[in-house]
Amino acid sequence: MSPLESLSLLVLGLSLGMAQSLVSMKCEEISKICNGNLCCIPGQNGLPGQNGRDGLPGLPGLKGEKGESLRGIQGPPGKAGPQGPAGPEGPKGLKGDVGECPVNQDLLTNLQGEIQALQSELNRIKKFLIFIKGKRVGTKQYVSRDEETTFANVKVLCEEINAAVALPKNAEENRAIQALAMKKKAFLGMTDEKTEGKYLSMTGEKVTYTNWKSGEPNNLGGKENCVIILEDGEWNDVPCSYSHGITVCEFPA
């Protein structure tokens, strides 16, 4: 062994001895800190471990201040709630206008016309029932009423039943009127008030059948413009203002 090699070995030995002494010192000092456990030189840090489990929820924080932002769009209406209790009755309102019923005006007019016609017919029948007797001859129906009245009133009574004052156009009709007169006098439906000496019917027609009593008509006093049938069936001219006991009317049978 050369002197250089011997010197190298010596240096190496010294170095090892010094290192063991340092290590021994360090371990003693550290063992005091580590409570007697064997300590070594700290190694390098390891890899990060896995995340731990979530902890328990924390306590609610304090309410924050109201933020400032633009008002959002109004949402859709919510469902209607339950009906509330009825309130007290309010005061009576003003009377409203008359309503209009949507009916067929033509139909309504026709119905009103029919009602009026029926009412008129009913009234005619009521008045017709006042006449105590009736007789049919040919195409005419005669009715009589035992009431003493003037010629003007006789016309009204006959018109109320849609009839006319009786006026015979032949001997048969004259006998029928005589029978209804019941041996009393009755006005006939003709006059010469507008055409003196020329007797016309109530419709203005010339009288073609007559049955005058002898010497009649004589227009006594210039006021005899109406005609009556006597108990025997003959005719006589009399003042229209006189009253006689029987009213005889005629209408088509």
- Which residues contact residue 209 at a Cβ distance below 8 angstroms, ignoring those fewer than 6 apart? 168, 169, 170, 171, 174
The verdict on residue 104 lying in a domain is no
> Residue 223: which domain range?
130-251
Name the β-bridge partners of 229.
186, 235
Encode the chain (253 residues) as per-residue pLDDT tens digits: 555 555 555 555 555 555 455 444 444 454 454 454 544 566 677 777 777 787 788 788 788 777 676 777 887 888 888 888 888 888 888 888 876 666 678 888 888 888 988 887 767 665 555 565 778 888 888 888 888 899 999 999 999 888 999 999 999 999 999 999 888 999 999 999 999 989 999 999 999 999 999 999 998 888 899 999 999 999 999 999 999 878 999 988 6
Please, what is the Cα angle at 118 between 116 and 124, to 5 degrees? 105
Q: What is the pTM of this model?
A: 0.51
Res 26: pLDDT: 47
The verdict on residue 83 lying in a domain is no
CATH number at residue 134: 3.10.100.10
The verdict on residue 14 lying in a domain is no
The answer to whether 163 touches 246, Cβ cutoff 8 Å, is no
The verdict on residue 209 lying in a domain is yes
**CA–CA separation, 209 vs 235, rounded Å?**
11
Tell me the DSSP string of 168-216: -SSHHHHHHHHHHTTTS-EEEEEE-SSSTT--EETTSPBP----BPTT-
Res 134: pLDDT: 77
**CA–CA separation, 212 vs 168, rounded Å?**
12
Name the β-bridge partners of 135.
142
Which tens digit of pLDDT belongs to each residue from 162-192? 899 999 999 999 999 999 988 899 999 999 9
The verdict on residue 36 lying in a domain is no
Res 104: pLDDT: 76
The answer to whether 236 touches 228, Cβ cutoff 8 Å, is yes
Name the β-bridge partners of 247.
145
Domain count, the chain: 1
Res 172: pLDDT: 96
The verdict on residue 86 lying in a domain is no
Res 69: pLDDT: 67
The verdict on residue 190 lying in a domain is yes
The answer to whether 125 touches 211, Cβ cutoff 8 Å, is no
The verdict on residue 208 lying in a domain is yes
